[in-house]
Amino acid sequence: MDQQDDIPFCPGPDPATRKPAFEMPLGACDTHFHVFPTGYENRYAPDRSYTPPPAEITDYQHLASTLGLERGVVIQPSVFAEDNAATLEVSAANPERLRAVVSVTKEVTDAELEAFHAAGARGIRVNVVDSGGMTFPTVDDAIAFTARIADLGWHIEFLAHVEMFEDIGALLAASKVPVVFGHLGYTNARKGVDDLGFHRFLGAFREGRTWVKLTGPYRISNVDGPPYADVQGMADALIEANPFRLVWGSDWPHVRQPGFMPNDGALLDMLSYWGCDAALRHQILVENPALLYGFPDQRG
């Protein structure tokens, strides 16, 4: 592989995954993990922001088993751009337990979208932050594309700093499918709940106009290690605003994390730290992802 010297290599995840402190509900889902299988290095985008560590599905399955996660959603990472082969290989191999979110361009054909759906895809990802992830000319173009995936029952997921959208309401109103935002909205905790842009986003979220992933608190925190106390206020605000539109994800294998590497058990325990009791954890880990990704609902 032609590796550019200025593209940083990422450290691997903590291999000593510990169990969460609470009992996991039946059908719990990790809505955000990536795979970087050995042999796919030549598919990495040359203009990527990072070079990931090898991350095999077998490694992830061990983590999921340790944590008590029965379902998962493999998310297309920016380093693969719109080459979804590795992502869909994983979801297609386990259709009962796994789904996928892919990246596409406007040139993708309807036949390709149907094939992606058959392989487990249930949404498209638009990463406006990392090189390779923005496969549309503009955010407006990505929103316009949602008309093509509406009949599939898909959604659109953004990795974007939500406070940067001056008219978040108009963006959400223009989408023909549900809109999902990762990393608690990706607003730095230094700005926090008092930030005007985050307030705009929180209002739309409260009205049920979007979904939020409780992923990557370490990506918005300015504290080096769990429980990322400076994220508490934002998490509390989101949970109070609309617990029926929240899902949780590990963000394994935690690429572009140069500092302290969090244990995935500790990240799962953040739900309790944020005040989620057993009923609310069931809502976030089981019921909400079942609705968003089309898993059979499991209650009890």
Residue range 224-243, pLDDT digits in tens: 999 999 999 999 999 999 99
Give the dihedral sign, CA 216/219/224/228: negative
pLDDT at position 109 is 98
Residue type, 10: C
Of 59, 251, 264, 269, catalytic: 251
Cβ atoms 210, 172 nearer than 8 A = yes
102-124 pLDDT, tens per residue? 999 999 999 999 999 999 999 99
Q: What pLDDT, in 10s, does the model give residues 114-150?
A: 999 999 999 999 999 988 889 999 999 999 999 999 9
Check pLDDT > 70 for residue 160.
Answer: yes
Number of Cβ atoms within 10 Å of the Cβ of 165: 19
pLDDT in tens, 162-221: 999 999 999 999 999 999 999 999 999 999 999 999 999 999 999 999 999 999 999 999
Mean pLDDT of the chain: 95
CA 40/CA 54 separation, integer angstroms: 9
CA 67 to each of CA 37, 156, 269, 278: distance values in angstroms, whole numbers, following the listed order? 22, 27, 10, 16
Q: Write the single-letter amino acid at 285.
A: L
Q: pLDDT tens, 35-81?
A: 999 999 999 999 999 999 999 999 999 999 999 999 999 999 999 99
* Rg, the chain, Cα only: 18
Sign of CA dihedral 42, 44, 49, 55: negative
What was the pLDDT predicted at 297? 65
Distance CA 71, CA 30 (A): 6
For a pLDDT cut of 70, what percent of the chain falls above it? 97
Examine the residue annotation and report whether 195 is marked as an active-site residue of this protein: no
Write the DSSP symbol of residue 222: S
pLDDT of 1 above 60:
no
pLDDT of residue 2: 44
- Domain 29-293 -> CATH class: alpha beta
